Structure 1
Amino acid sequence: MGGLDGRARILRVSVRYPNPLRRGDRVGVTSPSSGVNEDLRGRLDVAVQDVRDRGFEVVVGDCMDGAGHVSAPAADRASELMSMLTDPDIKAVVPPWGGETAIDLLPLLDWDRLRDAEPTWLVGFSDMSTIITPLTLLTGTATVHGNNLMDTPYRAPEGLLSWLDIVTAPHGHSFTQSPPNRHRSTGWDNYRTQPEVREYTLDAAGRWTRLDADGDVEVEGRLIGGCIETLCNLTGTGYLDVAAFARAEAPDGLLVYVEAAGDDAFTICRNLHGMRLAGFFDSANAVLVGRTSAPDGSSLTQHQAVLDALGPLNVPIIADVECGHVPPFMPIVNGARGRVVHTPTRSELTQTLT
């Protein structure tokens, strides 16, 4: 396959936006990380039908087994993902959700072939950051961080969009999302007993929070980022050379977003320090941090962990953004041009597909 060598063979290309989906187009479903247990197949069926109801054909792959922590052996998962991403009839690929060890796919993917193929939308978050972020960095293909397939049936709250809204948007499209200022305080819906649930339980109030200083923020840059717990394992490797991407595609700087899935504050602090030392944030004009339900430490909160690690960047740091593991979700396009505004009365992220 086309794994990277130690020098990280990166042939830079401009950011490539897959063609917008049209009615009748085909969407591939596969599990590059964790599959779906039998008792959760009802939710999977509902989610697949929702995509079909939007006018798309859905092809469900073979790598979907939820009995273990991965859906199939790494070689099978890599082969199926490669097949879907290079099939000209498949216009978007979305997993049911993330998982734990998608990292084992990276050396098995043919990056040269992916770079040469017509770009296909790849969607997901959590462990999918392990794949979608390198895909943007190594091939220039824009990817969507947000809304895995099992989240698709939920109605997006006012101000937010679904991944389906984004992958159907034309090239050059600009869209603005703003926080609903409500989120889920704890837990997840039970798909075993409520496979058709479509309304988020948003029972807690909360706004975006600037961590580094007071004052208004209005800043632009090309967007890149993902899940801290997965991306921290790629820093310093050829799969996460953000500096090279910034030089080629974002000479005016980046908007970097990160989010903590579940690690405690001390672990997140160490991971963010390591990512900063490896250059992940070197070109950041600002950092967006997802809202998290991950635990604080005995003497360190999640907010303090971020500030401890990223404060030396001397750029705006805005936390409690809807780009993490706490519903609802604000999809972010890796590679898109972004503009973030945060004031006492206004918070929004505008993305442009150019």
Structure 2
Amino acid sequence: MITYPHLKNGASIGVTAPSSGIPAELHKLVTIACNRLEQRGFRMTCGDTVWTQNKAKSASAVKRAAEFNTLMADNEIDIIIPPWGGELLIEILEHIDYENIRNKWILGYSDISGLLLAITLKTGIATAHGTNLIDLRGEFSDETTAMWQPVLSTKTDESILQRSSEQFQKEWQHDDPSPCVFHLSEKTYWKTVSNRNVKIQGRLLGGCIDIIRHLIGTPFGDVQSFRKKYINGDPVIWYLENCELNTTDLRRSLVQMKLARWFEHCSGLMFGRSPANTPVENYTVEDVYQDLADELDIPIIFDIDCGHVPPQITFINWAYAEVEVEEGKGTVVQYFCS
């Protein structure tokens, strides 16, 4: 049975860096974010890995995993939110104590999505793909980002509605900070390969495709065993976002996922806006989506609020979802059901 954690009022947030930590010159960002959350009634605990960064990681794989395991086992910690993503989270997966994972939320994206998906597939505990700690440092959060708290406060057998954002951020402007962190300037428009309105239903799984593709063929990406153990015949909706891949690398990754049978019994795919998707010899990302739609014969939605072009909807790995796109507007209803 799938288990859904529940975020309570005044929860204690554990901050650890299972991928990249924060270099010294940016420590103030963590301090600001923690202060903001404390002002909202949360209690904050930061691990040692948060404050260190060298050779593309916060610490050794063993130390990162140990700190994560410690926070996960601590009854005083209710939710774990890493400061941000990084590059080498995959190193810690073999050191995670999956047998003793507690029923508490883990929230993040980018490199963290590898940990989220692995934990859900290995344990049947739902995980949350959404904002990271650093992006919660603003005086306030935009309406889309702010939904992380209501979503994670949803109780088992209840549902939660999220809507597509009104605007998204085209590019980062770190030298010109915004009160809500992001500079939301571009009109959001969810698209479909068919250019028609679309409605799909199914269980959510996903993450950053750059990262989760590397779980294929490992004990941490066994979608087929997870399907047999936890799925009662429900189809899957995959949500994916691309951080750095050009279109041919994206295509290779999607074909690999298809050949690994990740897309079997899939009712639809969703792709986030991306800063990447660079065309190769006129092979555009729209071509990639069209090829996939033709092969799988399922709806494909793209430019959704997910990933490295904020803001982000909070997606729960293994919630049952109803996703609808109508005239460029999107709605996502997630049901926390077993």
Q: Name the TM-score class by shorter chain.
A: over 0.9
Distance across 1 between alignment mates of 2:322 and 2:257: 23
Asked whether the 8 Å contact 1:177–1:350 carries over to 2, the reply is yes
- Mark the runs of 5 or more structure 1 residues left unpaired by the alignment: 1-13
Asked whether the 8 Å contact 1:161–1:330 carries over to 2, the reply is no
Structure 1 residues 154-163 or 169-178, which shifts more?
154-163
Asked whether the 8 Å contact 2:168–2:186 carries over to 1, the reply is yes
Pick aligned residue for 1:259 from 219, 234, 241: 241
Shift of the 181–297 alpha-carbon distance from structure 1 to 2, 3 Å rule, reads farther
Pick aligned residue for 1:348 from 284, 309, 331: 331
Pick aligned residue for 2:320 from 333, 337, 340: 337
Distance across 2 between alignment mates of 1:108 and 1:73: 11
Partner SS, residue 281 of structure 2 = coil
Asked whether the 8 Å contact 1:20–1:171 carries over to 2, the reply is no
Distance across 1 between alignment mates of 2:169 and 2:312: 11
Amino acid in structure 1 at the alignment position of 2:47: G
Shift, 1:270, TM fit = 0.7
- Aligned partner of 1:230 in structure 2 is 211
- Aligned partner of 1:166 in structure 2 is 151
Structure 1 residues 142-151 or 60-69, which shifts more?
60-69
Shift, 1:310, TM fit = 5.0
Shift, 1:105, TM fit = 0.6
Shift, 1:326, TM fit = 0.2
Question: 1:285-324 maps to which residues of 2 (within 5 A)?
Answer: 285-294=267-276, 295-324=278-307
- Aligned partner of 2:95 in structure 1 is 108
2:26 aligned with 1:40, yes or no?
yes
Q: Which runs of 4+ in 1 moved over 4 A?
A: 193-197
Shift of the 53–173 alpha-carbon distance from structure 1 to 2, 3 Å rule, reads farther
- Mark the runs of 5 or more structure 2 residues left unpaired by the alignment: none
Shift, 1:51, TM fit = 1.6
Partner SS, residue 238 of structure 1 = coil
Pick aligned residue for 1:59 from 45, 65, 68: 45
Asked whether the 8 Å contact 1:29–1:94 carries over to 2, the reply is yes
Shift of the 34–310 alpha-carbon distance from structure 1 to 2, 3 Å rule, reads farther
Shift, 1:168, TM fit = 2.7
RMSD: 1.9
Partner SS, residue 287 of structure 1 = strand
- Aligned partner of 1:209 in structure 2 is 191
Distance across 1 between alignment mates of 2:29 and 2:19: 18
Distance across 2 between alignment mates of 1:136 and 1:78: 17
What do the CA deviations read for 1:137-178 (whole angstroms, capped 9, x no partner)?
A: 110111110101011134443455432332233333311111
Asked whether the 8 Å contact 1:30–1:96 carries over to 2, the reply is yes
Amino acid in structure 2 at the alignment position of 1:251: G
Asked whether the 8 Å contact 1:222–1:336 carries over to 2, the reply is yes
Shift, 1:34, TM fit = 0.4
Partner SS, residue 224 of structure 1 = strand
TM-score by length of 1: 0.89
Partner SS, residue 36 of structure 1 = coil
Asked whether the 8 Å contact 1:29–1:60 carries over to 2, the reply is yes
Shift of the 113–345 alpha-carbon distance from structure 1 to 2, 3 Å rule, reads closer
Distance across 2 between alignment mates of 1:159 and 1:176: 11
Partner SS, residue 90 of structure 1 = coil
What do the CA deviations read for 1:12-58 (whole angstroms, capped 9, x no partner)?
A: xx1111132222x3110000000101111111111111221221111
Distance across 1 between alignment mates of 2:157 and 2:290: 35
- Aligned partner of 2:120 in structure 1 is 136
Asked whether the 8 Å contact 1:256–1:286 carries over to 2, the reply is yes
Partner SS, residue 316 of structure 2 = strand
Distance across 2 between alignment mates of 1:265 and 1:181: 27
Shift of the 129–160 alpha-carbon distance from structure 1 to 2, 3 Å rule, reads closer
Shift, 1:197, TM fit = 4.2
Amino acid in structure 2 at the alignment position of 1:306: Y
